[in-house]
Amino acid sequence: MMNQVTLIDSGYDCWLGYKRIADSALRESYAQYGSRFVVIGGEGDGDENGEGLGASSLLRTAGKELELALSSMLGSVTRERVSGAGMVVAGTFGSSSAFESLAGAYEPAELGEEGYVIHSSEEDGCIYLSAASERGVLYAVFHFIRLLQTDQQLEGLRIQEVPRNGLRMINHWDNMDGSVERGYAGNSIFYRDGRFIEDKSRIRDYARLLASAAINAISINNVNVHRQESKLITDEFLPDVAEVAGIFREYGVRLFLSVNYASTIEIGCLDTADPLDSGVAEWWKQAAADIYRYIPDFGGFVVKADSEFRPGPFTYGRNHADGANMLADALAPFGGEVIWRCFVYNCLQDWRDRKTDRARAAYDHFMPLDGQFRDNVMLQIKNGPMDFQVREPVSPLFGGLTKTNHLLELQIAQEYTGQQRHLCYLVPQWKEVYDFDTYASGAGSTVAEIASGRLFGRARGGIAAVSNIGDDLNWCGHVLAQANWYGYARLAWNPDLSAEQIASEWIRMTFGRDEELERIVLDMLLGSYSIYESYTAPLGVGWMVNPNHHYGPNVDGYEYSKWGTYHYADRLGMGVDRTVRTGTGYAGQYHAPVAERYESLADCPDELLLFFHHVPYLHVLHSGKTVIQHIYDTHFSGAEQAAELLAKWDTLASRVDSGRFEHVRERLAHQAEHACEWRDMINTYFYRKSGVADEQGRTIY
Catalytic sites, residue numbers: 308, 387, 415
CA 140 remoteness from chain centre = 21
Q: Is 670 in the site for its own copies (CB under 8 A)?
A: no
Alpha carbon distances (Å) from 88 to 24, 128, 496, 528, 667: 20, 6, 28, 39, 42
> Contact region for its own copies (CB under 8 A) — 202-210, 230-238, 634-642, 687-695?
687-695
Q: Is residue 616 within the footprint of its own copies (CB under 8 A)?
A: no
Closest CA to 121 of 185, 252, 242, 32: 32
Among 105, 289, 572, 620, binds its own copies (CB under 8 A): 572
The distance of closest approach from Cβ of residue 610 to its own copies in the complex, given in angstroms and rounded to an integer, is: 15
* Given 367, 580, 643, 681, the residue binding its own copies (CB under 8 A): 681
Of 364, 370, 680, 694, the one binding its own copies (CB under 8 A) is 680
DSSP count for the chain of H helices, then E strands: 20, 18
Q: Where are the beta strands (DSSP E) in 601-672?
A: 615-616
Q: Report which DSSP code applies to 571.
A: S
Residue 627 CB, nearest approach to its own copies (Å):
16
Shortest distance, position 573 Cβ to its own copies, whole Å: 10
> Which amino acid is it at 481?
A
Residues 72, 120, 528, 690: which binds its own copies (CB under 8 A)? Answer: 690
CB of 628 to its own copies, least distance (A): 12
Report if residue 5 touches its own copies, rule: CB under 8 A. Answer: no
Taking contact as CB under 8 A, which single stretch among the options 46-54, 243-251, 633-641, 678-686 is the one that binds its own copies?
A: 678-686
Q: Does 570 bind its own copies (CB under 8 A)?
A: yes
User: CB of 685: closest distance to its own copies in angstroms?
Assistant: 8
DSSP-based three-state secondary structure for 261? coil
Cα angle at 337 between 196 and 137, to 5 degrees? 80
Beta bridge partners of 254: 217
- Which of the ranges 521-529, 563-571, 580-588, 627-635 carries the binding residues for its own copies, by CB under 8 A? 563-571
- For residue 635, the minimal CB distance to its own copies (Å) is 14
Q: Are 425 and 499 in contact (CB under 8 A)?
A: yes
* Interface size with its own copies, residues (CB under 8 A): 24
Task: Compute the least distance from the CB of residue 689 to its own copies, in Å.
Answer: 6
Residue 569 DSSP class? -
Is residue 113 within 8 A of residue 135, CB to CB? The reply is: yes
Contacting residue, 122, 352, 602, 654, with its own copies by CB under 8 A: 352
Stretch that binds its own copies, among 131-139, 306-314, 549-557, 651-659 (CB under 8 A): 549-557
Tell me, letter by letter, the H, E, C secondary structure of 132-143.
CCHHHHHHHHHH
Phi-psi region of 194 (alpha: psi -120 to 50; beta: other; left: phi over 0): left
Per CB under 8 A, the segment of 236-244, 292-300, 415-423, 673-681 that binds its own copies is 673-681
Q: Which of 158, 691, 695, 698 binds its own copies (CB under 8 A)?
A: 691
Question: What are the C-alpha distances in Å from 312 to residues 225, 261, 272, 345, 407?
Answer: 12, 6, 11, 13, 20
Q: Is 682 left (phi over 0), alpha (psi -120 to 50) or beta?
A: alpha
Q: Which stretch binds its own copies (CB under 8 A): 164-172, 176-184, 511-519, 682-690?
A: 682-690
Q: How far apart are CA 201 and CA 499, in angstroms?
A: 32
Q: Residue 353 Cβ, how far from its own copies at the closest point, in Å?
A: 9
Q: Is residue 351 a contact residue for its own copies (CB under 8 A)? A: yes
Q: Is 309 in the site for its own copies (CB under 8 A)?
A: no
From the CB of residue 665, how many other CB atoms can be counted at a distance below 10 Å?
Answer: 17
Cβ count within 10 A of residue 208: 23
The reply to whether 569 sits near its own copies by the rule CB under 8 A is yes
Cβ proximity to its own copies: between 623 and 699 the closer is 699
Candidates 160-168, 185-193, 246-254, 683-691: pick the segment binding its own copies (CB under 8 A): 683-691
Say if residues 80 and 156 touch (Cβ distance below 8 Å): no
Task: Report the 3 state secondary structure along 211-234.
Answer: HHCCCCEEECCCCCCCHHHHHHHC
Contact flag: residue 289 with its own copies (CB under 8 A): no
List alpha helices for 103-217, DSSP H.
Answer: 108-111, 134-149, 201-212
Q: For residue 571, state whether it binds its own copies (rule: CB under 8 A).
A: yes
Tell me if 227 contacts its own copies by CB under 8 A.
no
Among 556, 596, 644, 657, binds its own copies (CB under 8 A): 556
Contacts of 666 (CB under 8 A, 6+ apart): none
**How many angstroms separate the first and last alpha carbons of the chain?**
57
- Chosen residue from 201, 224, 554, 637 binding its own copies by CB under 8 A: 554
- Closest approach of Cβ 572 to its own copies, in Å? 7
> 576: Cβ–Cβ under 8 A, 6 or more apart, which residues?
357, 541, 566, 567, 568, 583, 584, 610, 611, 612, 613, 614
DSSP 650-668: HTTTTTS-HHHHHHHHHHH
Is 551 a binding residue for its own copies by CB under 8 A? The answer is no
Q: How far is the CB of 626 from its own copies (least distance, A)?
A: 17
Contact segment (CB under 8 A) with its own copies among 366-374, 473-481, 662-670, 674-682 equals 674-682
Site stretch for its own copies (CB under 8 A), options 47-55, 446-454, 525-533, 681-689: 681-689
Q: Under the criterion CB under 8 A, does residue 158 sit at the interface with its own copies?
A: no
Q: What is the DSSP letter of 461?
A: E
Taking the mean position of all CA atoms in its chain, how far away is CA 365?
A: 25
369 versus 643: smaller Cβ distance to its own copies: 643
To its own copies, the closest distance from the beta carbon of 539 in angstroms equals: 18
State the nearest-atom distance from the C-beta of 558 to its own copies, in Å: 11
Distant-in-sequence, close-in-space partners of 222: CB < 8 Å, separation ≥ 6: 172, 173, 174, 175, 180, 181, 229, 258
Q: Decide whether 333 or 547 has the Cβ nearer to its own copies.
A: 547
Q: Which of 688, 693, 695, 698 binds its own copies (CB under 8 A)?
A: 688
Question: CA-CA distance, 257 to 263, in Å (whole number)?
Answer: 13
* Residue 689 touching its own copies (CB under 8 A): yes
Q: Which of 339, 524, 555, 595 binds its own copies (CB under 8 A)?
A: 555
Which one of residues 560, 581, 623, 695 is an interface residue with its own copies (CB under 8 A)? 560
Q: Closer to its own copies at the Cβ: 172 or 635?
A: 635
Cβ proximity to its own copies: between 501 and 554 the closer is: 554
Cα 10 versus chain centre, distance: 23
Residues that bind its own copies (CB under 8 A): 351-352, 546-547, 553-556, 560, 569-572, 677, 680-681, 684-685, 687-691, 701
